[in-house]
Structure 1
Amino acid sequence: MLKLISLKNLCSVFFLLGAFSTQALAEQSSTHDKQQATEVLDALNQYSSAADWDNYFALYDEQGIFIGTDANEHWDKATFEQYARPTKGWRYDLSSRKMTQHGDVIWFDELLMSPSYGVSRGTGTLIKTNKGWKIAQYHLSFPIPNSIAKSITKQIISASSNDE
């Protein structure tokens, strides 16, 4: 009977060790994935400020989209390239970033500082491909402080009705 109890205990120990090592490997993989995704997003800001469009657009998935600050800016990669390539680039410096991973998808939310626009927000998703992490969607917006939101939204409503 004592041998049976010892065998059960030994099996339990091996089971727990296996579970802990599987969890540790998953956490290590997630950390590695997030580091790679961080490098992609950091490079995105570096390439845009240098107007290095070949490297910039190589970071996007072929079906990637960009959603800009204007309500009409919902562009596939090719349309966004047509917009960006004639420009001298744009600069956004990272203030903070949060990432969440679920399998081969990472979504992020970052606060950026722009010399032209002040505080901006980038949100989006990256997908893991056989070529590494690629941007599937990037959305740039201007976070509006609640204290001035009504004033700003009135201006947006007015501008929208003038466009019609």
Structure 2
Amino acid sequence: MLTLSSPKAWGLALLLFIPFSMNLSANETPNSDKQQAAAVLDALNQYSSAADWDNYFALYDEKGIFIGTDVNEHWGKAEFERYARPTKGWRYDLTRREMTQHGDVIWFDEILSSPSYGVSRGTGTLIKTANGWKIAQYHLSFPIPNAIAKSITEQIKAAGKH
């Protein structure tokens, strides 16, 4: 007879408990808010490279905004759609992403690689809605190495982009 003081009983209890606890973790992980939000951002990059604008813009909240690399690119969803729909899309491949959640808001910072522009950074927020996670704000920028920042900002000044 096994008792709780028996080492065999504890071993058996652990063997029975570990698969159950592993199953709970495995079942919870794919549905986590951060993973769902990451899937939205992954889809965003897939849809933009295919110029699949219906699915792309369905990922944005109706009040969502896009802030582009040009100082004049601060667009609501409808304005951004008017800009994007005539294009053949753009490709950004994920290199690294950080996400932080606070309730029904997730903010992110991702490093991307583009055949056209090289390294870029996407930052923004997603909000949890009745229809899942939606992009509330996306900001695309080009990170400038400190060693050349002065030269680049001088070029921006000379171009009149302020």
Fold agreement, TM-score > 0.5? yes
1:117 is the counterpart of 2:117:
yes
* Equivalent-residue separation in structure 1 for 2:127 and 2:38 (angstroms): 13
SS in 2 for 1:150: helix
Counterpart AA for 1:78: A
Equivalences for 1:67-146 in 2 at 5 Å? 67-146=67-146
Counterpart AA for 1:131: N
User: After superposition, what is the alpha-carbon deviation per residue over 1:29-71, rounded to whole angstroms, capped at 9, x for unaligned?
Assistant: 8x70001001000000000000000000000000000000000
Structure 1 residues without counterparts, runs of 5 or longer: 1-23
1:14: which partner in 2?
Answer: none
* Equivalent-residue separation in structure 2 for 1:129 and 1:122 (angstroms): 21
Counterpart AA for 2:56: Y
Counterpart AA for 2:158: S
Larger proportion of helix: 1
User: After superposition, what is the alpha-carbon deviation per residue over 1:64-116, rounded to whole angstroms, capped at 9, x for unaligned?
Assistant: 00000000000000000000000000000000000000000000000000000
TM-score by length of 1: 0.80
2:46: which partner in 1?
Answer: 46
Q: How many residues align?
A: 137
Structure 2 residues without counterparts, runs of 5 or longer: 1-23
- Percent identity for Structure 1 against Structure 2: 81
1:149: which partner in 2?
Answer: 149
* Equivalent-residue separation in structure 1 for 2:35 and 2:123 (angstroms): 17
TM-score by length of 2: 0.81
4+ runs deviating over 4 angstroms:
none
CA RMSD of aligned residues (A): 1.9
* Equivalent-residue separation in structure 1 for 2:131 and 2:67 (angstroms): 23
* Equivalent-residue separation in structure 2 for 1:35 and 1:107 (angstroms): 13
SS in 1 for 2:32: helix
* Equivalent-residue separation in structure 2 for 1:58 and 1:84 (angstroms): 13
